[in-house]
Structure 1
Amino acid sequence: MKPPRHHPAFPMNPNPPLPNFPAQTTRRNFLKRTLAASLLLGAAGWTKLKAAAPTARVLEVRVISHQPDLYHGWPTVARRSNGDLWLVYSGGREGHVCPFGRVELMISKDQGQTWGWPQVLLDTAIDDRDAGVIETPKKAMLVTTFTSLAYDTEAFRKALEGAAGTTGTWPQERLNRWRAAHERLTAGQRNALLGHWMIRSPDGGVTWSAVYPSLVNSPHGPFVLANGQLLYAGKKLWTDKQRVGVCRSTDDGLSWQWLAEIPARPGDDYQQYHELHGLEVNPNRLLVHIRNHNSQNRFEILQTESTDGGVTWSVPHPIGVWGLPSHLLRLRDGRLLMTYGYRRAPFGNQARLSEDGGKTWSPPMTLSGDGSNADLGYPSTVELPDGLLLTIWYEVMAGSNKAVLRQARWRLET
């Protein structure tokens, strides 16, 4: 990331040269110039101190998922008002794309030191993918997901038909499993299941609502406003008219109304905007991050802002961050934290801090950089009572084709 020009956090000349004294000078001029030099150096030292970039002191990185023979993907972690941590993700999988994905939940009652056995929250007859979770102002738990038929490829259909040359790609045992899962429904029934969905528990997970549709989808779900409303920034999928924007709930997530479309940057195709996440900086001021697949700033995070509570949004603009997608968190001290996957060498996850409400972002802080390939990321972060941060992501480890859930416990040092 290139530092913004003339930003106070990035002085143009943090170590200015000493004044060039003439060969002969009076005592008075010498003292005046010495004092001026001292003040100049002092100011430079103070500016340099202020410009010190934040760092992440990573205390622990470890695998937390159970069932290592299965593939786990696209997690979201949330901290409840009672202190429990809820982690939702797509589990029960054979791979990155398959017909077996389901929404699972693990709970930690000791700030992520240990995690309970997975609970299956939702398992439709097609692939249930990215899962988000929040606690609403009324202490209900809201879990989001979307369904997909991406596994239903031409290669799979040819294998089902017994086309020549498919035997090596599709071992019979694997093909039998996929066929059994796929043919539970007719083609029409499968297509009817496509959508983005929510389930809601008013009692901490004891009971859950029926599945109901949401207007948009994004991996980490909605966010809460100070006035008690919920906003969901995302993308409308599986419809004739795809839309990228924000919807709002005024009844604690029970129902949703379309609020505003996010405009496309000139030259961009809005269909190449994906996987949004937002937060409230302060009343009426919001910001949203967007995964961008347009050729301009490809695979960078774009940012859009609203100053009227989400009714209108600025044209998305780059913030100099290569990575995808972004999860946003407002820390207790008011600073903003973004965490995102870094899918090129060194493969891993990074974080950046903003001390001015998202106007500028710090240089990257590495949370993990030991990944073996690009099948990783989607980190989300919570702030713990002791001030530590807990970030959780998914990752295919070296020597395996199954993704696990990993977490980093870390401290922000500035």
Structure 2
Amino acid sequence: MPKLKLLLATAFLSAPTLPCSWADTDATILKHISIYEKRDAYCAWPAIARAGNDDIIVLFTRTEEHMSPNGEVLLSRSTDNGQTWLPPAIVYDTPIDDRESGLTTLADGRLLTHLRSVRFGASTYQDLPDTAYPPELIARWSDYVEKTEYKTATHLSRAWQTVSDDNGISWSTPAPGVDSIHGGIELQNGSLLVASYRDDAGNIGVHATSDPETPWQKIATVDCPRPATIRFGEPHILQLASGRIIMMIRATAKPYDDASPLCHLWASYSDDNGATWAPAYETPLWGFPPHLLQLDDGRILCSYGYRRDPFGQRACLSEDGITWKQSDEVVLRSDAANKDLGYPVSIELDPGRILTVYYQPNIPAGSNPATHPPDPNRKKPGILGTIWELPTGYD
């Protein structure tokens, strides 16, 4: 299998500890860390997995701004259970915009990426509101997407996947795949499953394959009601020890409003390996998008961003993955400078000790308010993390 070899730096970057003063949660916040930041880079949308050698792998997008036309996917690695992080390596970079990455860990130790590349047209920037970005930035991007290399890369604009059999050091040649914002799962029967949403307007599609080197087949659709008021997307799935598969789904109000009261997470479940699903139902959890994790003690953790005041990151615990209570919500961060944040993903470092990784500006609340258009010299979001312990009230 052809490989794209990456050179990893040999020196560690220590993860700086950030101040901890969050009295509005029962969780024990051990420390906040910075995994990667760069003054002129907009870093966002992380995915997380534990490799076969026990390293923790985080993928994320580095670009200029949220709507820039030329993002790239980077990989950060921790070899000491999340305490320090190697400098990131570029793992996927095409002539167009590479802006999404998910990770699936396979039982045999391989890692599977779910990537998505987008080729923007000039109309993309012509249709943006005048307050979206400074005119000079829009003009530069509009010129960029008119370059021959960019305009002729239509074939790259789709979902892709790569496979690593050496813990993410090298990756196979990209092959067509299915987009999955956080990644999929390997079922107990050995097949692979992902939930997607861009190929089935208004609903969530479920895709399966016996191996990442064989084509994916769509096997089910999850019915999501109220299409006139809510746009559903960015689902994540998890198979419980019982065999049941649960799904959480982002809901965003139409027209787009990420602070709307309608932005509750929705849920569904399957008891036949994803062939059929219960109709999606609304949960009391407000925020998005979801990431699911079954903990060592059997409980299910759902992590999500919180884009209304106080801005930050949250999580919730459930005994069964079906019933969720807002009273069981844990506030991980409530100090973000603005709502340009979220997409938290979690991994259990040790029983009861969690690392949650997300993106947000690494500055105090009130020091970097959201602006329209955003100031290009502002502090842009970085990839941050919180190491925390489960609330004592859940013992």
Deviation track 1:214-267 (CA, whole Å, cap 9, x = no partner) reads 23x231011222222221011134x8x7762211121256432211111122x3
The alignment of Structure 1 onto Structure 2 pairs a total of residues equal to: 347
Amino acid at match of 1:193: L
Tell me, in whole angstroms, the C-alpha distance in 2 between the residues paired with 1:152 and 1:333. 51
Larger relative helix fraction: 1
Shift in alpha-carbon separation, 1:150–1:60, aligned structure 2, 3 A: farther
| C-alpha separation in 2, matches of 1:409 and 1:121 | 26
Partner of 1:219: 181
Change (3 A) 1:344 1:150: farther
Compared CA separation, residues 344 and 243, structure 1 to 2 (3 A): closer
Q: Which amino acid aligns with 1:264?
A: C
Does the CA-based 8 Å contact 1:132-1:219 persist in structure 2? yes
TM-score, normalised via structure 1 length:
0.76
Does the aligned pair in 2 maintain the 1:278–1:328 contact within 8 Å?
yes
Aligned counterparts of 1:151 and 1:364: Cα–Cα separation in 2: 41
Q: Where does residue 403 of structure 1 map in the other structure?
A: 381
Mapped contact 1:126–1:182 kept (Cα < 8 A): no
**Which secondary structure does the structure 2 equivalent of 1:97 belong to?**
coil
Which one of the candidate residues 346, 354, 369 is aligned to 1:389?
A: 354
Q: How far did residue 151 of structure 1 move?
A: 7.5
Paired with 2:290 and 2:211, the residues of 1 have a C-alpha distance of 27
2:42 to 64, 71, 87: 71
Alpha-carbon contact 1:328-1:337 (below 8 Å) kept: yes
Aligned pair 1:202/2:165, yes or no?
A: yes
Alignment partner, residue 98 of structure 1? 68
For structure 2, list consecutive stretches of 5 or more residues without a partner in the other structure. 1-24, 255-259, 369-377
CA distance in 1, matches of 2:228, 2:271: 24
Summarize deviations over 1:94-128 as a string: whole Å, max 9, x none: 11110121111011001111111111111111111
Q: Counterpart of 1:171 in 2: which secondary structure? A: helix
Gaps of 5+ in 1: 1-53, 159-164
Distance verdict in 2 for CA 1:242–1:318, change over 3 Å? closer
The aligned residue for residue 235 of structure 2 is 276
Question: Does the 8 Å contact 1:230/1:250 carry over to 2?
Answer: yes
Matched, 1:320 2:284: yes
Equivalent residue for 1:257?
Answer: 217
Q: Structure 1 residues 145, 83: closer, same or farther in 2, change over 3 A?
A: same
Conserved? CA contact 1:338–1:353, under 8 Å? yes
SS of equivalent to 1:233: strand
Match of 2:54 among 67, 72, 83: 83
Q: Which residue of 2 aligns with 1:290?
A: 249
Aligned twin of 2:304: 340
Question: Contact 1:378/1:393 (CA < 8 Å) preserved in 2?
Answer: yes
Which residue among 265, 272, 281 is the counterpart of 1:301? 265
Counterparts of 2:193 and 2:203 in 1: how far apart (Å)?
15
- Equivalent residues of 1:224, 1:279 under 8 A apart: no
Give the conservation status (yes or no) of the 8 Å contact 1:99–1:151.
no
Q: Distance in 1 between matches of 2:276 and 2:220?
A: 6
1:244–1:262: 8 Å Cα contact kept in structure 2? yes
TM-score, normalization by structure 2: 0.80
Identity of aligned residues (%): 32
TM-superposed CA distance for 1:268, in Å, is 2.7
How many angstroms apart in 1 are the aligned matches of 2:54 and 2:240?
A: 23
Q: CA deviation at 1:150?
A: 5.3
Residue 55 of structure 1: how far off its partner (Å): 3.2
Query: Are residues 66 and 254 of structure 1, via their aligned partners in 2, closer, same or farther at CA, if it must alter by over 3 Å?
Result: farther
More strand by share: 2
AA in 2 matched with 1:305: Y
Shift of 1:367: 0.4
- Is the CA contact (8 Å cut-off) linking 2:346 and 2:355 kept in structure 1? yes
Q: Corresponding residue for 2:195?
A: 233
Q: Which of 363, 366, 390 is residue 412 of structure 1 equivalent to?
A: 390
